[in-house]
């Protein structure tokens, strides 16, 4: 895939702040994004696990669904239970293709008079077109390109931001509500994609830099880039769209059956339901698993996975060094009969077999607020 020329890259509202902080900027999903700051990926990762890290995720797509029947309309595209989502609650879900693949993963929240959606940067144009095409009269999709999204993650994140807005401390996991923080009107959800407790905060783009500076001034908060975000979510066993899930993978193969609402398993009226139902009844041919290479050498995405001394049985989809796991970690798909924890595998790294085993996910226990 050709890289976007630097001069045509989009920028988030925090671009000048990233540069001021010494970030190394790289192209990602059409944006110039900070991959790391001078502290480095390892330190940023470990700081998030120990204290609080600030991530700019403003490249993600934000939108609102408004109108009577919005939740029902969205359910045509996702097996998530959207109609059962209570006010001030958020849910992780999957948008589906008609053939049962994952079109994207997304977050949906019930803000009372509207649904609030967050989708992946690399898929936002496609996602919004897919959703818009499924809407009945009276339901509309409002895009929110003028909003930034900032994630504050880590065991000290909520205590830190609660010094500016005390009510945030009482938000439950996957709770969402409006707050005024440092003079900025924000929508705060107690969620994130690092495996740690924390919040994701949607703010107006014109207030984003002032808001980010207020958070960075709090004790224990440091900036972190895409590099640490990737190693954190990999250790947490969380999927990255385009790597671990895509239009060829189903929710059953990906181990995301938990996103399918109980009621939806009686209705089967969402896109791709036939394949999902068949794989739930009869088993999928392959499954996403955690993989621990032996030794210290990481195995990256697209590394072939073989049965020991035998044929290829799958492929790594995400892999690297896990700073908190203190060793290489990976996720990938293997044939169902080789998916049990502890199963020996061989990874073909630069043509040489590297011993590995199927390992339970997550590699680092989740520490969400419960």
- Residue 69: its pLDDT value, please? 96
Question: Is the overall model pTM greater than 0.85, yes or no?
Answer: yes
The CATH homologous superfamily to which domain 6-50+146-235 belongs is Probable tRNA modification gtpase trme; domain 1 (3.30.1360.120)
pLDDT digit string (tens) for 213-233? 999 999 999 999 999 999 999
Average pLDDT over residues 1-19: 81
Read off the pLDDT of residues 51-81 as tens digits, 9 standing for 90 and up. 999 999 999 999 999 999 999 999 999 999 9
- What is residue 1's predicted lDDT score, i.e. its pLDDT? 43
What is the rounded distance in angstroms from the CA atom of residue 58 to the CA atom of residue 206? 12
The CATH homologous superfamily for domain 285-359 is Aminomethyltransferase beta-barrel domains (2.40.30.110)
Architecture in CATH of 62-143: 2-Layer Sandwich (3.30)
Q: What is the pLDDT of residues 261-297, one digit of tens each?
A: 999 999 999 999 999 999 999 999 999 999 999 999 9
Q: State yes or no: pLDDT of 3 exceeds 70.
A: no
pLDDT for 7: 66
Q: What is the pLDDT of residues 125-138, one digit of tens each?
A: 999 999 999 999 99
Give the pLDDT band (50/70/90) at residue 370. confident
Q: What is the pLDDT of residues 314-332, one digit of tens each?
A: 999 999 999 999 999 999 9
- Which pLDDT belongs to residue 6? 60
Using one digit for the tens of pLDDT, what is the confidence trace for 250-269? 999 999 999 999 999 999 99
pLDDT over 80 (residue 112): yes
How far, in whole angstroms, is CA 328 from its chain's centroid?
21
pLDDT of residue 2 exceeding 60: no
Per-residue pLDDT tens over the stretch 145-172: 999 999 999 999 999 999 999 999 999 9
Query: What ranges do the domains of the chain cover?
Result: 6-50+146-235, 62-143, 285-359
Cis preceding linkage at 362, omega within 30: yes
The pLDDT tens digits of the residues spanning 341-356 come to: 999 999 999 989 999 9
Whole-number percent of the chain with pLDDT over 90: 97
| Average predicted confidence (pLDDT) for the chain | 97
Beta bridge pairs of residue 334: 287, 314
- Residue 116: is its pLDDT beyond 70? yes
Residue 194: which pLDDT band, with cuts at 50, 70 and 90?
A: very high
Across 315-350, b (16+ Cβ under 10 Å) vs e yields bbbbbbbbbbbebbbbbbbbeeebbeeebebbbbbe
């Amino acid at each position: 895939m050709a890289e976007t020329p630097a001069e045509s890259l989009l920028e988030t509202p925090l671009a000048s702040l990233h540069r001021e902080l010494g970030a190394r900027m790289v192209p990602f999903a059409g944006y110039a994004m900070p991959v790391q700051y001078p502290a480095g990926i390892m330190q940023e990762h470990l700081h998030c696990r120990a204290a609080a890290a600030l991530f700019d995720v403003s490249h993600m797509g934000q939108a609102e669904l408004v109108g009577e029947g919005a939740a029902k309309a969205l359910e045509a595209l996702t097996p998530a239970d959207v109609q059962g989502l209570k006010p001030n609650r958020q849910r992780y879900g999957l948008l589906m293709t008609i053939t049962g693949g994952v079109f994207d993963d997304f977050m949906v929240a019930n803000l009372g008079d509207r649904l609030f959606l967050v989708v992946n940067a690399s898929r936002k144009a496609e996602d919004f077109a897919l959703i818009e095409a499924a809407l009945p009269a009276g339901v509309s999709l409002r895009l929110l390109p003028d909003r930034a999204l900032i994630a504050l993650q880590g065991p000290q994140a909520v205590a830190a931001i609660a010094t500016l807005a005390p009510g945030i401390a009482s938000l439950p996991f996957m709770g969402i509500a409006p707050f005024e923080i440092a003079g900025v009107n924000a929508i705060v959800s107690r969620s994130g994609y690092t495996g740690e407790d924390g919040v994701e905060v949607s703010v107006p783009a014109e207030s984003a830099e002032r808001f980010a500076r207020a958070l960075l001034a709090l004790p224990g908060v440091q900036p972190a880039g895409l590099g640490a975000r990737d190693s954190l979510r990999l250790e947490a066993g969380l999927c990255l769209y385009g790597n671990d899930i895509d239009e060829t993978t189903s929710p059953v193969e990906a181990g995301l059956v938990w996103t399918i609402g109980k009621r939806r398993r009686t209705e089967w009226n969402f896109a791709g339901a036939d394949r999902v139902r068949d794989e739930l009844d009869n088993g999928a041919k392959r499954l996403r698993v955690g993989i621990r290479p032996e030794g210290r050498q990481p195995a990256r995405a697209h590394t072939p996975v073989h049965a020991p001394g035998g044929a290829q049985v799958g492929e790594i989809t995400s892999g690297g060094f896990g700073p908190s796991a203190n060793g290489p970690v990976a996720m990938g798909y293997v044939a169902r009969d080789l998916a049990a924890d502890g199963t020996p595998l061989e990874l073909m790294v630069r043509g040489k077999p590297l011993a590995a085993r199927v390992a339970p996910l997550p590699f680092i226990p989740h520490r969400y607020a419960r």
